[in-house]
Amino acid sequence: MLRTPTGGAGHGTAAAGERAMSIGTVLLQLRDEFPEVTISKIRFLEAEGLIDPQRTPSGYRKFSPGDVERLAQVLRMQRDHYLPLKVIREHLEALARGEQAALPSPGGPGEPVDPLRDHQDPGRATAARIGRPELLAAAEATEEQLDEWEAYGLIVAASGGSYDAEAVNVARLVADLGRFGLETRHLRAVKAAAEREAGLVEQVVAPLRRHRNPQTRAHAEATAKELAELSVRLHAALVMTALKTGSH
């Protein structure tokens, strides 16, 4: 696991003897802790001023170990604290000035707060819920965007208008895709494919869930999760294959 930097050292410059890395190497280093990070995500964070890698005379990015540590810190604050990039940038700038800045909450300065924390069921992390303002902050989205995502069924609120961790993840991904010009209507096919894959998983685990043995029923949930992860990996591999072969 990458360590989180505790100081506010500048970024974008490599100290003598530090090994400069390509963006592909950085991606491989981050994947263990952040499996959903992409090269596009790293480039986006650079465009937003969160990281500042050096450039070779030919324009290639070269990341120092310090750049990678800073990038990991940004990704953790997004993932663990649901902070928008503007708040993360201000926090890092305060650290760079040598200030002892507390990690802010999604709504502004204050003590470190995980918006899911106060709603945790100690027995099940999936019971965590957050409200609409926290979801908007986590995805850096507008009310209009969230209304549209809900209208298309990409985001579904629970009773009372709260959202679980999966809804937060979906909202972030939809927002990231939107930055590439993909509109919500374009994602209907993705949602339909996901529902079909979920149906296949359900066919496998349904007999386990109906079993008399409690251990077998519990095993059904672990099996469903493993099948879902394999399905996602297969889907990604098939998309890459289609792009390479031009069969799309």
Q: Which of 155, 163, 233, 229 is nearest to 187 (CA)?
A: 155
In degrees and rounded to multiples of 5, residue 159 shows phi and psi of: -60, 135
**Class assignment of domain 116-182?**
mainly alpha
- What is the model's pLDDT at position 3? 42
Same CATH fold, 116-182 and 1-114?
yes
Q: Dihedral, CA atoms, 59, 62, 63, 65, nearest 10 degrees?
A: -160
- What is the model's pLDDT at position 10? 44
- What is the model's pLDDT at position 62? 93
Residues in the chain: 248
- What is the model's pLDDT at position 247? 52
- What is the model's pLDDT at position 63? 93
**Which residues have CB under 8 Å from 188's CB, separation 6+?**
152
User: Rg (Cα) of the chain, in Å, rounded?
Assistant: 20
H/E stretch holding 29: helix 23-31
Each domain of the chain, given as residue ranges in start order, spans 1-114, 116-182, 186-248
**Class assignment of domain 1-114?**
mainly alpha
Q: Are the beta carbons of 183 and 174 closer than 8 angstroms?
A: no
Average pLDDT of adjacent 10-residue blocks, the chain of 248 residues: 43 54 90 84 87 88 92 88 81 84 55 39 47 86 92 89 87 89 90 90 87 80 87 88 76
pTM, two decimals, is 0.53
- What is the model's pLDDT at position 18? 60
